[in-house]
Chain A
Amino acid sequence: MAPAQVRPLPSPFKRVLLRCTVDMQAYGQCVTSKLPAVELGICEKEFRALKTCMERAVKNKG
Chain B
Amino acid sequence: MTLASELGRSSRCCLSRVGVPVAAAQRLATRAAGEFSASGDEVGDKNADVFDRELKSKQRDRAAWFMHESDPILDTVTENLLDRLEDCKRMFPTALNLGGALDHVQRMLHGRGGIERLISMDTSVDMIGRSKRLAAMDGVTGEEAKRSALENMQIIADEEYLPFQAGSLDVVISSLGLHWVNDLPGAMSQCRTALKPDGLFLAAMFGGETLRELRIACTVAQLEREGGVSPRISPLAQVRDAGNLLTRAGFALPTVDVDEYTVRYPSAMELIEHLRSMGEVNAVRQRSLVMSRDTALATASIYQSMFGESDGTIPATFQVIYMAGWSPDISQKQPKRRGSATVSFQDLQTAFPPDAFSKTSDDPKSTSTTKSITELASESKERERTGHNESEETSRTTRLPSGSWFKLD
Q: Does B224 contact A (CB under 8 A)?
A: yes
In-complex Cβ contact of A39 among B227, B274, B301 (8 A): B227
Chain B, 232-262, contact with A by CB distance < 8 Å: what is the 0/1 string? 0000000000000000000000000000000
Contact indicator A4/B302 (Cβ below 8 Å): no
B270: nearest residue on chain A (CB-CB)? A6
Contact pattern, A 14-55, Cβ under 8 Å of B = 1, otherwise 0: 101100000011011101100100111111000100110010
Asked if B76 and A39 make an inter-chain contact with CB atoms under 8 angstroms apart, the answer reads no
Q: A39-B224, A41-B224 are in contact. Are A29 and B70 (CB under 8 A)?
A: no
Interface size class of B (residues with CB under 8 A): 20 to 34
Contact A31 B224, beta carbon cutoff 8 Å: yes
Asked whether A54 lies within 8 Å of B302 as measured between CB atoms, the reply is: no
Q: Which residue of B lies closest to A5 (CB)?
A: B68
Residue of A25, A35, A38 with highest tally of chain B CB at under 10 A: A38
Binds A, one of B292-300, B338-346, B368-376: B292-300
B274 to chain A, nearest CB (A): 7
Contact A24/B224 with A17-B269, A50-B297 known, Cβ cut-off 8 Å: no
Category for how many chain A residues contact B: 20 to 34
Least Cβ–Cβ distance between A38 and chain B, in angstroms: 5
Q: Give chain B's interface secondary structure class.
A: helix
- B residues contacting A by CB (< 8 A) are 68, 70-72, 75-76, 220-221, 223-227, 266-267, 269-270, 273-274, 293-294, 296-298, 300-302, 304-306
- CB pair B72–A47 under 8 Å, yes or no, is no
CB of A35 within 8 A of CB of B297, answer no
Judging by beta carbons under 8 Å apart, are B297 and A54 in contact? yes
Given known contacts A1-B72, A5-B68, A35-B220, is B302 in contact with A40 (CB within 8 Å)? Answer: no
User: Considering the complex of A and B, which 8 residue pairs feature the smallest CB-CB distances, nearest first?
Assistant: A28-B305, A40-B227, A24-B301, A28-B301, A38-B223, A27-B301, A32-B305, A38-B224
A-side contacts of B223, CB under 8 Å:
38-40
14 further A-B contacts with Cβ under 8 Å, apart from A4-B72, A31-B302, are A1-B72, A2-B70, A2-B72, A9-B273, A17-B267, A17-B269, A17-B300, A25-B305, A28-B301, A32-B306, A38-B220, A40-B223, A51-B297, A54-B297
A6 to B267, CA, bound (A): 12
What residues on B are CB-neighbors of A47 within 8 Å? 224-225, 294, 298
Report chain A residues within 8 Å CB of B68: 4-5
List of B residues within 8 angstroms of A39 by Cβ: 223-224, 227
**Looking across the interface, which residue of chain B has its beta carbon closest to that of A14?**
B269
The residue among A13, A39, A50 with the most chain B CB atoms within 10 A of its own CB is A13
Q: Once the chains are docked, how many angstroms separate the CA of A24 from the CA of B224?
A: 14
B148 to chain A, nearest CB (A): 24
The interface residues of chain B lying within 8 Å CB-to-CB of A43 are 224
Interface centre among B266, B293, B294, by most A CB within 10 Å? B293
Please name the residue on chain A nearest to B268 by beta carbon.
A17
Residues on A with C-beta less than 8 A from B300 are 17, 24
Q: Which of B75, B269, B273, B301 has the most CB of A within 10 A?
A: B301
Q: Across the interface, which residues of B come within 8 angstroms of A32, CB to CB?
A: 302, 305-306
* Residue pair A40, B273 in contact (C-beta under 8 Å): no
Name the B residues within 8 Å of A40 (CB-CB). 223-227
Q: A41 to chain B: which residues have CB within 8 Å? A: 224, 227
Residues of A within 8 A of B76 (CB): 1
Q: How far is the CA of A22 from the CA of B56 in the complex (A)?
A: 37
Question: 20 A-B contacts, Cβ less than 8 Å apart?
Answer: A2-B70, A4-B68, A4-B71, A6-B266, A9-B273, A14-B269, A17-B267, A17-B300, A24-B304, A28-B302, A31-B220, A31-B298, A32-B302, A35-B220, A39-B224, A39-B227, A40-B223, A47-B224, A47-B225, A50-B301
Closest Cβ neighbor of B272 among chain A residues: A13
